[in-house]
Structures are given as structure tokens and as C-alpha cells.
Amino acid sequence: MKAIKVGVIGVGRGMSFALGAQHAGMKLVAICDIWEEKLKEAEKKLKVKTYTDYDNFLSHDMDAVVLANYFHQHAPFAIKALKAGKHVLSETSCNSTLAEGVELCRTVEKTGRIYMLAENYPFTVFNMEMRRLYKSGEIGEVTYAEGEYNHPMSPEARCSLSPGVNHWRNWMPPTYYCTHALAPLIYITETMPVKVNGLSIARKKINKHTARRGDPGFVILCRMDNGAVFRLFGLVLPGHSNWYRIHGDTGAMEITRGPGYFGPGLIRVWHEPWTRKKNQSLEKTYVPEWPEKAQLANRAGHGGGDFWVNWYFAQAIRTGKQPFFDVYKGVAMSSVGILGWKSALEDGKPFQVPDFRKESERKKYENDHWSPFPGAKNQLPPSILGFIEPEPEDIAFAKKVWEKIGYMGND
């Protein structure tokens, strides 16, 4: 097959996409970043054309763009790439405001380009196996589910990932990073969120020795379109947890708990004596296997998810068919984080999730620029405690870490 020519923006997380593109039938042709020192390192390693200007980057001869830039800048960069005729794979979040989500959906529709949210956690061997089980009818229709993505880090590691007092990670409310918890549940059950209630967990001491202003933890309850309730939990509280459980009306299944990202690597399925079908075990626990392409998936990051994200993006481009995590699902999941934060600031008040497929609903949010990030038109606090100023000693500690990684900026 003819290789799909792809360019990557971002020399941090973007390097995973740059190095993994070839395994999915894509060819890396260009990379873009404003951090010139890191860009030179990438150029030497990848031996492709490099750019510091995004507009010039988009003029390069390529079919698609992978966005691994700042979290709150994905939508504007995606919209510009789509209008330039490129297919788009966007990391982490589609939109940082509801207005961005509206414009992004409209742009995908107008351009006809492929758009995919690069959410990798649905594509671990565990979640792909639970999707297979669910679609087979093993546990019936989902009634309740839980998704957890809680990833604590040392102060040094967190500062390394967020260089600068105005880096997006330092201002991000915890609910905004909800897609790692939510996306696998949507992938498995094919349901969609229609209402959210959010609560934030505020602990200033957990942010010690960092420039972070946002709260460290959240819980979101999602009412789904079939009536089920999903509970989501994260984000950087002590106690690493990457875990998913689904209850159906005839049984339940989960990833078994354990240390690290995916515990001991087992799937547990169980039934009640009066709900199990003929030949179903009351309970079984086993090691799942990849449905295909195990050799490539086992070499990829995030439990194999980094391979499958590239693979499904390439397949969507080749077939001309939008992927499972298309713009509508991506914007809806990203907006759960935004609406969850609105709810948290009102101590759990419910908020409706709009159906972004419908222009009549999108119209209501086209001017909703509400955001916690610096420079926003309507900026609200990143913590339920308000606008928290990091202590001088915390900033001093962070700056020492930033100097070690080569960041010399003042913002």
C-alpha cells in the first residue's frame, strides 16, 4: 500500500507517533515545534524536514497531521490543518472550550477530512477483550461502570512535564483530563454521555514543589444515553490506578487490580447463579490475548494503545470512513471534562452534554469560550479554592528542574 505521508507537531509526546508511524503504514515526512533545541535533536534522530512555524509546516507535502502540542491548543491547530486539506489525529483532548468543539465539528463536516481523537487507553489488550466480551452479550446491557486514571508523579517529574508557570498542566482543572477514564467505557459499551455531575478534590500540599494551580483529584458521574451511570476518577492523587469495571444486567467484568497501569494483567468475569446463561462459568479470571497484530502491539507504548491509535487512523484515511473515535465522540468526551468542571465549581450541579451531531444544539454553545487557561476570553479558576498562587519556594524548586531540562523561558 502507498504510505500515508504524515507530519507531527510536538517533539515531546509527538516522538512516539513519529517513531511508530511506519508500523501503521504511514511515513513521517516533517515535524514541527517551537522548542528549537529539542527540534534539532529530533531532526538528527528522525532525518526529516523540521519547522518552527506551523503555517510553513502545513505547506509541506503531506496527507495528515498528528497533533501532540499543548492540550488547550489542539482545536485551533486541528481546524487550521483541516482547512489546509489534511487529515487530523489529535492527542488527549479535542477542545478546551465548548465553542472550540462546535467549530471543530463544523470544520470536519465542511472539509470532509478524517478526524480522530488519539485516545490510546481503549486499545489495551484488556479493554479490547472487554469490548469483545460485551459485544458477544456476555454480561448483557451496561447498567453501571467505573473508569479510573490516577497517575501520581514525583514533584520532579511533574515539573519536567510542565515547564513554565503558565504551562497548561499547571492551570488544568483535574476533570479536563477525563478521557483516559471515560473513553474505554464508551469503546466497550458504545454508549454516550448525556449529563454530568462533577466534584473536585482540593489538596494544596499535593501540589507542593510544583507550579500547579489546579486541584489534584476529581470524581465525575455520567448519565449515559441508555440510562446507565458511569463513575470516573483521577487524576494525580497518591495511589496509582488504571482500572475499568462494567456491570451489565446479566453479569460483570473488570481488569483485576494491581500495581502500575494494568495490574497483574488479568480479566475477571462473573455472573449470578440466576443470571448466567447455559455454559457460562459463575466466575473466570484469565490473561487476555490480542485479537491480531500482537507483535506490533506488544512493542508499543501505553499497553499497545499507541500502535492501535496509529493503525486505526491510517485505516480511516485509506477507507475514507471516520473512525470510532470521530470528532463527535471526541468532542463529547472532551466536553464532559469542561462541563464536569462547571459542575464542580457549583458543588456537583448537573449539566447536560449537548449532542454535537446536531447543529440546533451546537448553536447554543458557539460563543461559550469559558476556560481556566491563561489568556482565555472568559477565565475562571482552575481550583475550587479559587486562583491559587504557588508559594515562592515551590516556584524556586520548579525552576531548578526546568533549568535541568533546558527550559529557559519566563512564562
- Please provide the DSSP assignment of 113-143 as one string: --EEEE--GGGSHHHHHHHHHHHTTSS-SEE
- 350 grid coordinates: 448537573
Q: Which residues contact 404 (CB under 8 A, 6 or more apart)?
A: 160
> How many alpha carbons lie under 13 Å from residue 284 in its C-beta half-sphere?
10
pLDDT in tens, 165-217: 999 999 999 999 999 999 999 999 999 999 999 999 998 788 899 999 999 99
* pLDDT for the residue 270: 97
Which residue has better confidence, 96 or 279? Answer: 96
* pLDDT for the residue 299: 82
Helix (H, G, I), strand (E, B) or coil at 101: helix
Helix (H, G, I), strand (E, B) or coil at 219: strand
Mean pLDDT of the chain: 93
DSSP string, 34-82: S-HHHHHHHHHHH-SEEES-HHHHHTSS-SEEEE-S-GGGHHHHHHHHH
Helix (H, G, I), strand (E, B) or coil at 206: helix
**Residue 333 pLDDT exceeds 80:** yes
Distances (CA, A) of 47 to 2, 43, 44, 62, 306: 20, 5, 6, 16, 22
103, amino acid identity:
E
* pLDDT for the residue 261: 58
DSSP state of 315: H
Which residue has better confidence, 299 or 103? Answer: 103
Please give the Cα distance from 178 to 314 (Å, whole number): 25
Question: What average pLDDT score do residues 218-234 get?
Answer: 98
Q: Which of 251-260, 294-303, 331-340 has the highest mean pLDDT?
A: 331-340
Supply angle C-alpha 367, 200, 189, rounded to 5. Answer: 75
Contact 321, 314 (CB under 8 A): no
Q: Which residues contact 358 (CB under 8 A, 6 or more apart)?
A: none
* pLDDT for the residue 305: 86
Confidence of residue 350 (pLDDT cuts 50, 70, 90): very high
Confidence of residue 259 (pLDDT cuts 50, 70, 90): low
Q: Which CATH superfamily is domain 122-295+326-379 in?
A: Dihydrodipicolinate Reductase; domain 2 (3.30.360.10)
Enumerate the domain spans of the chain: 4-121, 122-295+326-379
Which residue has better confidence, 154 or 38? Answer: 154
pLDDT in tens, 105-133: 999 999 999 999 999 999 999 999 999 99
> How many alpha carbons lie under 13 Å from residue 170 in its C-beta half-sphere?
25
Please give the Cα distance from 206 to 147 (Å, whole number): 22
**Residue 342 pLDDT exceeds 80:** yes
Helix (H, G, I), strand (E, B) or coil at 31: strand
Owner of C-alpha cell 479490547: 128
**Residue 6 pLDDT exceeds 80:** yes
pLDDT in tens, 51-69: 999 999 999 999 999 999 9
Distances (CA, A) of 35 to 12, 69, 288, 405: 10, 11, 41, 12
**Residue 141 pLDDT exceeds 80:** yes
pLDDT in tens, 203-219: 878 889 999 999 999 99
Question: What average pLDDT score do residues 20-26 get?
Answer: 81
* pLDDT for the residue 279: 87
CATH topology match: 4-121 vs 122-295+326-379: no
* Percentage of residues in the chain having pLDDT higher than 90: 77
* Residue 130: closest CA among 114, 107, 116, 147: 147
Give backbone dihedrals phi and psi of 380, rounded to 5 degrees, phi first. Answer: -120, 165
Question: What average pLDDT score do residues 365-375 get?
Answer: 94
- Could you tell me if residue 389 is left (phi over 0), alpha (psi between -120 and 50 degrees) or otherwise beta? beta
Distance between alpha carbon 373 and the CA centroid of its chain, in Å?
17
**Residue 410 pLDDT exceeds 80:** no
Please give the Cα distance from 86 to 75 (Å, whole number): 14
* pLDDT for the residue 52: 93
Please give the Cα distance from 370 to 94 (Å, whole number): 15
Question: What average pLDDT score do residues 142-158 get?
Answer: 96
- Which residue(s) pair with 291 in the sheet? none
Q: Which CATH superfamily is domain 4-121 in?
A: NAD(P)-binding Rossmann-like Domain (3.40.50.720)
Other Cβ atoms less than 10 A from the Cβ of 126: the count is 26
* pLDDT for the residue 55: 96
